[in-house]
Amino acid sequence: MASLVSKKVIVLKPENVAQLVFFIRGEKVMFDADLAMLYGWKCAA
């Protein structure tokens, strides 16, 4: 089970999150490492 990286509160702006969204084959996607960072979880390799 993943553990919390930190318990800091981060204020996210939509324009900053939008930079993490990519279009691949016509679909909006985010990388798992970016999602883990947003939710404060460590991404397992």
pLDDT at residue 26, as a whole number = 96
pLDDT digits (tens, 9 = 90+) for 4-43: 555 666 677 888 889 999 999 999 999 999 898 888 888 7
pLDDT at residue 25, as a whole number = 97
β-partners of residue 22 are 29
Instruction: Please name the amino acid found at residue 7.
Output: K
pLDDT at residue 10, as a whole number = 66
Extents of the domains making up the chain: 1-45
Residue scoring higher pLDDT (45 or 24): 24
| Ramachandran region, residue 32 (left: φ > 0; alpha: ψ -120 to 50; beta: rest) | alpha
Q: Strand, helix or coil at 23?
A: strand
pLDDT at residue 28, as a whole number = 96
The structure's pTM equals 0.60
Evaluate whether 29 touches 21 at the Cβ level (below 8 Å). yes
